[in-house]
Amino acid sequence: MIADGTLAPDRTTVVDAHLRACGECASDVARLRTLVSTLRGAPLPAAAVDAEWPAIRARIDQAKMITIADAGASEMAAPRASVFRQYGWLGGIAAAAILTWVALPRLTTRHDDAASSARRDSVRVLSAASDSARLYEEEAQQLLNQLELRRSMLRPEAAASLDHDLRVIDSAIAEVKDAIARDPYNPTLRQMLALSYRHKLDALRRVGNAG
């Protein structure tokens, strides 16, 4: 803090007095001050950012096209993630309303209340499962990022043990996801997936708390 001028004034006085008497510390601080000054004065790496925009624009447009194509391809599709991303909670409600508005007349015209009810339930279940998985994955990613920042402070054996546990859990998650892809309405598989995600979050939180 003395090197970058953020030390409180009363403590600065004390430290300055010590530095006047201690050549070794004064030399250390001088080196640090040079480093901080070099870092703050170093020019930021520049890029031709204009050249990158067309690629970003293309990816944004492509995402829109895929969303529309997917939505048209399957009336059983859950509300698209991009709709949620675009319009947040409001989009979620709107998407649910649109889904109901589009799906309901088609189902009721078949005069098959039982079938339509089952179908709406299936859409709701798939949508909820998809949202839950996304939330778990986002939370896990957040914890993983925090772990990376702390990793060098962990004991090597603790880090290795965690990596091993995560590999096992990730492998289990991948297998359950494959099974769900083959049997999407199986509640036991969805429970297993949720359990696997919870194990992963617990493992990451344990390390976070220990750190």
Partner 1 sequence: MVAVNEVGGSIDDTVQRAQSGDVDAFESLYRVHAPAVYALCRRMIGDEVRARELMQDVFVRAWERLTTFRGQSSLGTWLHRLAVNVVLAHLRTSKRDALRLIETDDAQIAGRSAHAQLDARMDLESALLKLPVGARTVLVLYDVHGYSHDEIAQMTGIAAGTARAQLWRARRALTRLLSP
Binding site for partner 1 (CB under 8 A): 3-4, 31-32, 35-36, 38-40, 42, 44-47, 49-50, 52-53, 55-57, 59-60, 63, 82, 85-88, 91, 141-142, 144-146, 148-153, 156, 159-160, 163, 211
- What is the total residue count of the chain? 211
Nearer to partner 1, 142 or 186 (CB): 142
Report in angstroms how near the CB of residue 211 gets to partner 1 at its nearest: 8
**Residue 46: strand, helix, or coil:** coil
DSSP string, 92-148: HHHHHHHHHHHHHHHHHTTT-HHHHHHHHHHHHHHHHHHHHHHHHHHHHHHHHHHHH
Report in angstroms how near the CB of residue 47 gets to partner 1 at its nearest: 4
**Residue 79: strand, helix, or coil:** coil
Nearer to partner 1, 10 or 50 (CB): 50
Amino acid at site 18 = H
Residue with tokens 């078949």: 110
Calculate the alpha carbon distances from 211 to 48, 143, 150 in Å: 40, 12, 8
Report in angstroms how near the CB of residue 180 gets to partner 1 at its nearest: 23
Contact by Cβ (8 Å): 185, 119: no
Nearer to partner 1, 55 or 114 (CB): 55
Nearer to partner 1, 106 or 206 (CB): 206
Report in angstroms how near the CB of residue 36 gets to partner 1 at its nearest: 6
Nearer to partner 1, 14 or 63 (CB): 63
Report in angstroms how near the CB of residue 94 gets to partner 1 at its nearest: 12
